[in-house]
Amino acid sequence: MIKLLILGPTGIMGKLISELALKDEEIEVVAACDVNNIGEELGGLLAVKDRNKIKISDVNYLQKVIDETKPDVAVDFTVAKATEKNCKICVENRIKCVIGTTAMTQDFLDEVEKLVTTKKAPAVISPNMAPGVNILFKMASILTKYLNDWDIEVIEVHHHRKIDSPSGTALKIGQILSDTLGSEFEEIAKFGRNKGPNKRLIGAKNEIGIHSIRAGDIIGDHIILYAGPGERIELKHQAHSRSCFATGAIKAIKFIVQAKENKIYTTNEVLGL
């Protein structure tokens, strides 16, 4: 049985992951920490049977919770600031982390990369755990090799509650495109185009446009537009339910307990792509 700590179980993603985890025969939820609903029963909150009758603990006492419940894996879909603090505590305690939170700082990512090696506690960090999106990443890297002289633009569409823009997934797509092109992403990325003269630099090696749309309750669309002389190709992924991310997180939890190398894994590796 995998002993699981859930960080942020009251959030939209946290609830979905908690529900799948509580129903999974290979997983035992041993703790759940949040800033909200402290003291409430997790199973009651989700209307799901929980044989351990786990109560939501105050995340400010995370170290005490870890000492008492000794989890093997922590899953975190919360907010960047919280993840940066809590997942560091988890890795320091040699707990393997599955991190889905987006918009963490590069400093944190660099620090956690070193920490997983020294503490021998591998982690999965992935801005998008949906299997289909990760197949899109793979297709984009292949297509970009053939279309490297075309213009490439990335368009992402999300619900109006989303805090960060562009999405972590759009940034990851931009990184994959520029790695394939042999360009520096930060040098060629053009984040939106404002009113006024704004001519595009021709060719993806010179410029990749990244555009964010926020509207209603759209779960998440990513389009990669390849446009050449007289023709175009679009790669498009649309999430119509958040269950694809939660399923991906559960796969990552089962993967990370068996991971051999003390490093940060991506969903590509979880899925063997």
Ligand X SMILES: NC(=O)c1ccc[n+]([C@@H]2O[C@H](COP(=O)([O-])OP(=O)(O)OC[C@H]3O[C@@H](n4cnc5c(N)ncnc54)[C@H](O)[C@@H]3O)[C@@H](O)[C@H]2O)c1
Q: How far is CA 95 from CA 110, 128, 142, 231, in A?
A: 18, 21, 35, 50
Q: Which residues are known to be catalytic?
A: 158, 162
Q: Are 224 and 173 in contact (CB under 8 A)?
A: yes
Joined together, the tokens standing for residue 11 give 């959030």
Q: Are 7 and 59 in contact (CB under 8 A)?
A: yes
Choose the stretch contacting ligand X; rule: CB under 6 A; options: 20-28, 47-55, 98-106, 113-121: 98-106
Q: How many residues bind ligand X (CB under 6 A)?
A: 25
Sole binder of ligand X in the list 2, 4, 6, 13 (CB under 6 A): 13
Min dist CB 130 to ligand X, Å, is 6
Choose the stretch contacting ligand X; rule: CB under 6 A; options: 6-14, 145-153, 197-205, 257-265: 6-14
Sole binder of ligand X in the list 6, 7, 140, 223 (CB under 6 A): 7
Does 59 help bind ligand X (rule: CB under 6 A)? yes
d(C-alpha 34, C-alpha 73), whole Å? 16
Give the residue with the Cβ less far from ligand X, 24 or 164. 164
Joined together, the tokens standing for residue 161 give 């509650």
Our measurement of the distance from residue 160's CA atom to the centroid of its chain's CA atoms, rounded to an integer in Å, reads: 18
Does 127 help bind ligand X (rule: CB under 6 A)? yes
Does 77 help bind ligand X (rule: CB under 6 A)? yes
- By the 10 Å C-beta count (0-12 exposed, 13-18 middle, 19+ buried), 33 is classed as buried
Q: Which spans of this chain sit near ligand X (rule: CB under 6 A)? A: 7-8, 10-14, 33-36, 59, 77-79, 82, 86, 100-102, 126-129, 245
